[in-house]
Amino acid sequence: MTGLLSAALAVVAMGLLAGIVLEWKRPWRVAALCTLVLAALLPVAGLSLAGYVRGVVGDLSITTVVVMLLDIGSRVFHRQAVPQKEIITLCGLVVLCGAFLYPMALGATPYDPYRMGYDSYGLPAALLLLGLAAWLQRLFLITFCITLAMLAFSIGWYASTNLWDYLMDPVLLVGSLLYLLRQAATAVMKKRRHRNRRGSWRNNT
Amino acid sequence: MVELDDGRIMAFWFAGSREGAADVVIHSSVYNPNAMTWTEEKTVASRRQTQTDVHRYIRKLGNPVPARDATGKLWLFYVSAIGGWSTSAVNLTTSVDQGKHWSPARRLVTSPFLNLSTLVKTPPFFYQDGTIGLPVYHEMLGKFGELLRLDNSGTVVSKQRLSYGRQTLQPLVLIENEQDALTLMRYSGPPPRRARQVASRDGGKHWSAPEPSALPNPDSAMAGVTLADGSLLVVLNHNEVMRDELSLVSSNDQGRHWQVLYHFEDERGWRGRTFSVEAFAENTMRLIEKTDASIENSKAHVAAVRNTMCQGHPCRFQFDYPYLIQARNGIFHLLYTWNRAYIKHIQFNQAWLEARLSAVE
């Protein structure tokens, strides 16, 4: 059932992407949020909308859940809880890890890093170091995600017994890539606009 | 197939209006060796029930493989998919009353990529500590074999890669003794078409790199068992071209050399020949009568075969998807798909096998 909740969250996040909801007043936004949760979990002909989403994306990782909650929170309450720099760093880390994990897990090499998530001390140790390093760099979102994922893994929050499944998933990877691309595009546009403004000022003098 | 506590044999298969249809369910039937009869087929798992049990969308069901542990509990692993077979995942249901009732299914999480593309086809086995070894394979982007290890609660505790790349699937693990095991895998790459093999000499801790075996095979499923003396017995399409023959082969040198003991089916004589639907039907009737002279309504059987094997292409014979077990009384039971219309059951004993062995030596 915990996995179904993560899929329901994805449905809610997708629902909130519909721009019109964001323009409503706060009580209506909260009401829309509650309606989306119900709609996601209400079974129709034996299966809920979240069940259909879960059929495709599986159980979403704890990191995805945290990121989705932050996103939903910022949309409903119009407040950014985490500095953008932290989100960008997390996305970068997800893309790096995804580039390491998925090609090999899909059979590109004899070595399968996914196996580390079952019965190795290496992955938890590496995560401990990474979490600590992020904490020292004041990248608290990364530390929080790692801690929560390891906690969820240790109590068996999902059906998976593999630590990787608590840390990341392909949905998060794609989302991170898109986010980074958007940020890069925005930065380029801003730079170009700035350069153009500077250029026209020079022309005017 | 799995042997029950009382020596009866329980078989599982998936069937429906066509492969991949929403009405495909997992069936079971029990064979009584004394009466030599199969019970009426019974539904063990349906798409809708599995979907309710695992709380997620499922489009179709596929291969089931059973196992019976030391306590007599039955384990049934079966495939479900949300699209093509490359979107498969493995479900597990168990029975503590010899298959009369089954627990709600649950999903095994076996892949980091949306948990997609893990399939089963070949028999599970048990490690000395009671954990289950489940040979699985992956079909999305790559095609390779893996070995899952499950504890006695059915939780995945580890997995091992048996091959990698895009050309091997359906690993068949043949355990020779406490240390040695050979795994054969179906090969889907370019010719020459030889089954691939990997070996372990340390009780499954490590496996060798995949290499071509001495077994020709047209990218089709294999089945096999290890005999008491450690020699290997495999049933497969023993050629590189088609599934129109099905052979029994054996090796007594850890898979280095194989000898053909018997052809359960052999219609290679029809290859390359143009023949009419009537000629095909006539030969099918002959094969049916050869299989079981007492069979009733053989014309309906022929019509069913003609419908599956002559649709949209020239008629052809197809004998595939074998599954072989040896019961505790030493009798071997072989099931395989007969021209995609029926499941054929053959049983043979040790004496027959020894006669075949001495005939070829």
Residues A29-85 have pLDDT tens digits of 888 888 888 888 998 888 999 999 999 999 999 999 999 999 888 888 878 889 999
Chain A partners of B107 at a C-beta cutoff of 8 Å? 159
Same domain, A42 and A89: no
A179 found inside a domain: yes
What CATH number matches the domain at B1-161, 3.20.20.70, 3.40.630.40, 3.20.20.10, 2.120.10.10? 2.120.10.10
Give me the percent of chain B exceeding a pLDDT of 90: 83
Same domain, A22 and A121: no
Same domain, A52 and A91: no
* pLDDT surpassing 50 at residue B129: yes
- Determine the structural domain holding residue A133 and report its residue range: 82-204
Chain A partners of B106 at a C-beta cutoff of 8 Å? 159
Look-up of token digits 């006695």? B152
Residues B167-208 have pLDDT tens digits of 999 999 999 999 999 999 999 999 999 999 999 999 999 999
| In contact, B320 and B237? CB cutoff 8 Å | yes
Contacts of B103 (CB under 8 A, 6+ apart): B93, B94, B95
* pLDDT surpassing 80 at residue A119: no
What is the pLDDT, as a whole number, of residue B19? 85
- DSSP 8-class letter at A115: G
Dihedral of alpha carbons B15, B17, B19, B25, sign: negative
3-state helix, strand, coil in chain B (%, to 5): 15, 40, 45
Same domain, A45 and A86: no
Same domain, A20 and A108: no
Contact B114 A109 (CB under 8 A): no
Nearest to A107 among B141, B157, B209 (CB): B141
Report the mean per-residue pLDDT for chain B: 94
Same domain, A93 and A191: yes
Same domain, A137 and A98: yes
Look-up of token digits 């009401």? A31
Residues B72-111 have pLDDT tens digits of 999 999 999 999 999 999 999 999 999 999 999 999 999 9
Structural domain total, chain A: 2
A37 found inside a domain: yes
Same domain, A55 and A96: no
Contact A105 B115 (CB under 8 A): no
- Residue B43's pLDDT band, with cuts at 50, 70 and 90, is very high
CA dist., res. A29 & res. A16, Å (int):
9
Give me the percent of chain B exceeding a pLDDT of 70: 100
Kindly provide the b/e burial profile for residues B132-168, where b requires at least 16 CB atoms within 10 angstroms of the residue's own CB: bbbbbbbbbebbbbbbbbbeeebbbebbbbbbbebbb
* pLDDT surpassing 90 at residue B328: yes
DSSP output for B257-273: S-EEEEEEEE-GGGTT-
Same domain, A97 and A174: yes
Same domain, A45 and A127: no
* pLDDT surpassing 90 at residue A26: no
- Residue A205's pLDDT band, with cuts at 50, 70 and 90, is very low
Alpha-carbon distances of B142 from B70, B73, B165, rounded to whole Å: 35, 34, 5
Contact B112 A162 (CB under 8 A): yes
Task: Report the largest interatomic distance among the alpha carbons of chain A, rounded to a whole angstrom.
Answer: 71
Q: Does B189 touch chain A (CB under 8 A)?
A: no
A86 found inside a domain: yes
A74 found inside a domain: no
- Residue B313's pLDDT band, with cuts at 50, 70 and 90, is confident
Same domain, A54 and A125: no
A6 found inside a domain: yes
| Among candidate residues A59, A74, A99, the one where a domain is terminated | A59
DSSP output for B163-226: --SBSEEEEEEEE-SSS-EEEEEEE-SSSS-EEEEEEESSTTS--PPPEEEEEE-SS---EEEE
Least confident of A167-176, B177-186, B195-204, B293-302: B293-302
ipTM of model: 0.91
DSSP output for A22-72: HHS-HHHHHHHHHHHHHHHHS-BTTB-HHHHHHHHH-SPPHHHHHHHHHHH
Residue A23 CA to its chain's centroid (Å): 24
Same domain, A52 and A137: no
